[in-house]
């Protein structure tokens, strides 16, 4: 997949677990796990907004592009 999700790196920077983030952004752990592992097909703006708010980052800090 060309789009890389760098959620794991941001979590590491913030010393936060996925479970903790799931509680803060009110998204199920299963869905966050799908996002983290790059299995998600799409991300809602509302999800991106919540993640940026809790991780104190920009959307570009969570997503990257790697040409195939």
Partner 1 sequence: MRSSVTSKDPLLSAARFVVGLLMGLFAFIGVIVTIGLGAILTVQRSEIIERVAAANGGPVGYPLVLLAFVLIVGLMALAFLFMRELSRMIGSVEQGDPFQPFNADRLRRMGWLTVASQLTLVGLAGVGMAFDGIRPALLAEDALNAAFGGLLLALVLFILARVFRLGTAMREELEGTV
CA distance from start to end of the chain: 8
40 near partner 1 (CB under 8 A): yes
Contact 22, 29 (CB under 8 A): yes
Q: Which is nearer to partner 1, 16 or 22 (CB)?
A: 22
In the complex, the smallest distance separating the C-beta of residue 14 from partner 1, rounded to whole angstroms, is 19
The Cα–Cα gap between 19 and 30 comes to 10
Q: Is 21 in the site for partner 1 (CB under 8 A)?
A: no
Q: Which residues bind partner 1 (CB under 8 A)?
A: 27, 31-32, 34-35, 39-44, 47
């Amino acid at each position: 997949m060309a789009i890389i999700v760098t959620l794991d790196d941001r979590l590491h920077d913030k010393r936060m677990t996925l479970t903790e983030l799931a509680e803060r952004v009110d998204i199920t752990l299963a869905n966050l796990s799908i996002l983290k592992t790059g299995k998600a097909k799409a991300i809602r703006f509302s999800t991106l907004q919540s993640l940026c708010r809790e991780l104190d980052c920009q959307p570009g800090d969570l997503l990257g592009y790697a040409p195939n």
